[in-house]
Amino acid sequence: MKEFLSYFLKTPIFFASLFVLVGCKADIVEVNITAQDLKTALEGTNVAVPFKATFSQLGEMNDETRAQLNAIKDITISNMNIDEFNIDSDDQKILISIEGNLPISKSAETADPYVILVGKSEILPDFISVQIVNGQKFNSLKAAISGISMMASPQENQPIKFKVKAPGSRIIAPAAEIDGITKLLHDVNVKNKLIMSFKDGPYEKTGGGFFIQIQ
What b/e sequence results for 74-108 when a residue is b if at least 16 CB atoms lie within 10 Å of its CB, and e otherwise? ebbeebbebeebebebeeeebbbbbebbbbbbbeb
pLDDT at 30 over 80: yes
Query: Rounded CA gap, 163 and 51, in Å?
Result: 10
How high is the pLDDT of residue 50? Answer: 98
Which pLDDT score, from 0 to 100, does residue 19 have? 40
Most confident of 66-70, 74-78, 190-194: 190-194
Q: What integer is the mean pLDDT of 181-203?
A: 95
Give the percent of the chain with pLDDT over 90.
60
Helix (H, G, I), strand (E, B) or coil at 88: strand
Tell me the average pLDDT across 155-165. 93
133: amino acid identity, one letter: V
Instruction: Dump pLDDT digits (tens) for 43-64.
Output: 999 899 999 999 887 777 888 8
Furthest-apart CA atoms within the chain: distance in Å: 61
Residue spans per domain, the chain? 2-213
Phi, psi of 5 (to 5 degrees): -65, -40
CA 24, CA 168: separation in Å to the nearest integer? 37
Residue 166 CA, chain-centre distance (Å), reads: 21
193's enclosing H/E stretch is: strand 193-198
Tens digits of per-residue pLDDT, 131-144?
Answer: 999 999 888 988 88
